[in-house]
Structure 1
């Protein structure tokens, strides 16, 4: 696996500005943490919260997925992981980055939705957003994302402005 170009700079800026980076995934948390540790270092990887499916490891070493939301087709309904932030006394601006079908449930709950352009041209999330009228920003890598996030966080632009409304 490769780290998305620009992610290290994006993460460093977020960390320097006290902006939490949370990975919301339909994958398995221990595997994500291990890959992330390899890509950005164990210390940085341990600072990033991961909301994903978990695993149980039997005495014989066999792994079994422990789904967050077993009724979801992806084992994790991502909207249930981001909606609690809406209930905070001072809800933060929610920037959400997605690339596929498993992100559809969360797409309409983000303030700024970034949809990753995939190399194969397939993009179910973008098609869903277009069909449902959900404003989003297409991106190829995190180097394109950082200036947009910075402009909203610093107040240079509003969410409405970056979404081109």
Structure 2
């Protein structure tokens, strides 16, 4: 696959930053929040996440159950999230630095694109949100219903994988570019929706205290932890400026 088919290669970058959205760019997971508050609650959600983390079931099936438990109209879900979800403290500064230094940011999410775009427009402004490439699941009305009525919407998965959205499928074509054209690839994530991406880039940022750290240690995947995007910003900036290399940056738990 040539670079013309890869949107993030449009400016011939030397570095590309792939990132999860929920719990990574945001301080809370929007899907967890509406499940806990508008769906079947935190107890069943955490049981499902545990089953995914330890390989007892697919993320797709667990997430489908979570979303099916939410009967609130879709516009009500978005309004609830706009009132309760907050941006990671360091992301906005990192966003502008990346834009100014030709480091494309690609959002790879196991969530739903309309929610992500609404939150990013709220946090960054509409034009800035529209400038970001987002690859995610979507939503659709149930047959004979409107998404903005009770029980009227359903998740539409991005692909047929057990993840619903296999993030590795988006990263791998960049990793397979020929030497001299292939950029250095980063990924940042926090949870079970990120397992498919964990082994696909040179440097993985895993949010401290979250499920992705447990997975990386269990599977011997090199990583470094972060508390917020200011730490990611410092590390990526140092790599871009040639002060450190990606191998030395993979320090594990900090």
165, 175, 192: which one aligns with 1:76 = 165
Unaligned runs of 5+ in 2: 1-84, 148-152
23, 30, 44: which one aligns with 2:114 = 30
Q: How many residues align?
A: 160
Alpha-carbon deviation of 1:60?
4.6
Give the TM-score, by structure 1 length.
0.89
- Residue of structure 1 in register with 2:191 after alignment: 100
Indicate the structure with greater helix content. Answer: 2
Q: Which has the larger radius of gyration?
A: 2
13, 29, 49: which one aligns with 2:97 = 13
Alpha-carbon deviation of 1:88?
2.1
Matches for 1:120-139 after TM superposition, within 5 Å? 121=209, 123-139=210-226
> Counterparts of 2:133 and 2:161 in 1: how far apart (Å)?
23
- Residue of structure 1 in register with 2:146 after alignment: 61
2:175–2:201 Cα contact (<8 Å) kept: no
- Residue of structure 2 in register with 1:46 after alignment: 130
Bigger relative contact order, structure 1 or 2 (CA pairs below 8 A, ≥6 apart): 2
Unaligned runs of 5+ in 1: none
2:110–2:193 Cα contact (<8 Å) kept: yes
Secondary structure of 2:215 counterpart: helix
Cα displacement string for residues 40-75 of structure 1 (whole angstroms, at most 9, x for unaligned residues):
111110011101012234785323322112332x31
Q: Which moved more, 1:9-18 or 1:85-94?
A: 85-94
Q: Which runs of 4+ in 1 moved over 6 A?
A: none
Alpha-carbon deviation of 1:132?
1.5
Secondary structure of 1:71 counterpart: coil
Secondary structure of 1:24 counterpart: strand
Root mean square deviation, CA, Å: 1.8
